[in-house]
């Protein structure tokens, strides 16, 4: 019996892409949010087909490498996409615990971050009402420079004003200086789901409930138009997990965030690989 060959092609068909993002919404939140009008043009999507039937999807966000890469569907289809479609030199890929054997065929893992995916709905949300709540203010595009200073982001990893405009950011100032903030990685109004991120308090301002207050304010704003709000946190970050749990977030899944480097006959200098670490 002859096996129908798998063919790979790029696609801008958003409905086709949506049909191939399979699994629990808590887990696929980032990819679902990338279907938004403002985000989808920034993605590269490849579909594998066996005959006329779509069987797998590769979805990569554009920008400075490494960027997030999401893979869904039939393992053979995914392998074909990585061989003949999406071929980033480096990428951040969420995988199950222990990795993805298909990914290992064409990529080697340079770094593994053990992560928790936490999430909540409006019914589960417990707003923070401590004294710091009164200090929280919305952040606007002109605050991008202060955010970059707080996050200590340089040229290769820089939060542009547009990200603040399109996202939801809240912050707390002390003596006119931004000392704590929380925001979003991506907001999916189309799918009514969002990913909270960039939660940070300056070391000199910790212990005052600022992370609680900012994360609560961002979450509350997102729940005004989202059914689910999620975030990622390292499994060993007990302090952050306690903050999120107090707001009603619960663990939805454990996974590994992997920095992968494409296998080739030419080795990548170790020092360059370290530049991809975080």
Model pLDDT for residues 54-68, shown as the tens digit of each residue:
999 999 998 777 899
What per-residue confidence (pLDDT) applies to 274? 44
Domains of the chain: 6-115+256-274 (3.40.630.30), 122-226 (3.40.630.30)
Give the pLDDT of residue 271. Answer: 38
Predicted confidence at residue 203, as pLDDT, reads 93
| pLDDT given at position 157 | 63
Please tell me the predicted confidence (pLDDT) of residue 27. 95
pLDDT score of 226: 98
**What confidence score (pLDDT) does residue 264 get?**
77
Q: Give pLDDT, residue 270.
A: 45
156: tokens are 């290769």
Below-50 pLDDT ranges, the chain: 266-278
Give residue 268's pLDDT: 45
pLDDT at position 154: 53
């Amino acid at each position: 019996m002859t096996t129908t060959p798998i063919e790979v092609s790029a696609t801008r068909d958003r409905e086709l892409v949506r049909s191939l993002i399979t699994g629990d919404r808590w887990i696929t939140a980032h990819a679902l949010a990338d279907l938004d009008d403002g985000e989808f043009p920034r993605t590269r999507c490849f579909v594998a087909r066996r005959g006329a039937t779509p069987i797998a999807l590769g979805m990569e966000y554009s920008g400075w490498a490494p960027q997030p890469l999401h893979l869904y569907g039939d393992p053979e289809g995914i392998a074909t996409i990585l061989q003949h479609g999406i071929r980033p030199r480096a990428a951040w890929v969420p995988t199950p615990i222990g990795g993805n054997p298909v990914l290992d065929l064409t990529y080697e893992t340079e770094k593994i971050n053990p992560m928790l995916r936490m999430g909540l709905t409006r019914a589960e949300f417990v707003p923070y009402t401590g004294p710091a709540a009164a200090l929280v203010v919305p952040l606007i595009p002109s605050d991008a420079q202060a955010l970059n200073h707080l996050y200590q982001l340089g040229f290769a990893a820089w939060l542009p004003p547009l990200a603040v405009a399109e996202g939801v950011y809240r912050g707390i100032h002390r003596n006119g200086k931004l000392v704590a903030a929380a925001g979003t990685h991506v907001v999916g109004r189309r799918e009514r789901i969002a990913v909270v991120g960039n939660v940070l308090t300056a070391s000199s301002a910790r212990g005052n409930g600022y992370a609680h207050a900012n994360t609560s304010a961002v979450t509350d704003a997102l729940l005004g138009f989202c059914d689910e709000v999620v975030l990622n946190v390292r499994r060993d970050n007990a302090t952050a997990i306690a903050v999120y749990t107090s707001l009603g977030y619960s663990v939805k899944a454990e996974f590994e965030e992997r920095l992968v480097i494409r296998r080739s006959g030419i080795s990548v200098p170790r020092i360059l690989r370290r530049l991809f670490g975080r």
